[in-house]
Structure 1
Amino acid sequence: MLLRERQTKEGLLVSVCDDECLGEVYEDGEVSLDVTEAFYGGDDAEATDADGVVESLRRASVANIVGERSVSVAIDAGIVDESRVLSIDGTLHAQLVRM
C-alpha cells in the first residue's frame, strides 16, 4: 500500500491506496475517481504495511483511501464504517473526516 501524509491548516491529510490502483481512473455513471500520482504518490509517498496505515489513519484529520486492501485495513481497525464505503467501478473508496 502507498501512504502519503501532508500537514494542512485543517490538520493531517492522509492518502492511502493499493499499489495497483495508482494511476487508474474508476468511473461509475457520473462518478469518477482518479487515483493520481500527484495526490496518492510522489516523492512523499511511502510503501507501508497495515500497521503503518492504521497508525497514520488514527492521526488523520482527513483521509482518502482507495483499494480493497487499504479500505479493508481501515475497516478492520474500526476507523471506517463498512456501510459507508463506496464501490466505484468495482474499486473500494472511503473518506474520513474528523471534526
Structure 2
Amino acid sequence: MIVNERETPEGLLVAVCDADVLGERFEGDGVTLEVTEKFYGGEAVDEAAVVDSLARATVANIVGTRAVDLAIEEGFVDEANVLEVGDTKHAQLLWM
C-alpha cells in the first residue's frame, strides 16, 4: 500500500491507497474517483505502517479493496460507510 501524509493547520491528512489503483479512475452510481499521484502518491509501506498513519490521522482518504478492508479490520472505518466505486472501495475518516 502507499501512504502520503501531510500536516495541515487542521491536523494530519493521510491518503492511503492500494499500489495497483494509483493512477486509476473509477466510476459508478454517479461518482467518479481519480486516484492521482499528486494526492495519493507517497511511500510504499506495510500494513503496520498504514495502521500507524491512520491512528495518527485527523482526516484520511482510503482507496482500494485491501486498504479499506484493513481500515475496517482495525476499527478505523465502519463497513456500512464504505463506498463501492466501480471495481474498488473508498472510505473517508474524520476525527472530531
* TM bucket, shorter chain: over 0.9
Residue of structure 2 in register with 1:73 after alignment:
70
Q: Tell me how far apart the structure 1 counterparts of residues 21 and 33 of structure 2 sit (CA, whole Å).
A: 10
Alignment of 1:39-58 (within 5 A): 39-41=39-41, 45-58=42-55
Aligned residues: 96
Structure 2, unmatched stretches of 5+, are none
1:98 shift after superposition: 0.7
Q: Tell me how far apart the structure 1 counterparts of residues 79 and 49 of structure 2 sit (CA, whole Å).
A: 20
SS of 1:78's equivalent in the other structure is coil
**Alignment root-mean-square deviation, CA:** 0.7
SS of 1:65's equivalent in the other structure is strand
SS of 2:77's equivalent in the other structure is coil
TM-score norm. by structure 1 comes to 0.94
Residue of structure 1 in register with 2:12 after alignment:
12
CA contact (8 A) 2:71 2:77 kept: yes
Residue of structure 1 in register with 2:60 after alignment:
63
The share of aligned pairs that are identical, in percent, is 57
Structure 1, unmatched stretches of 5+, are none
TM-score norm. by structure 2 comes to 0.97
SS of 2:76's equivalent in the other structure is coil
1:88 and 2:82 equivalent? no
Q: After the TM superposition, which segments of 4 or more aligned residues of structure 1 sit over 6 Å from their partners? A: none
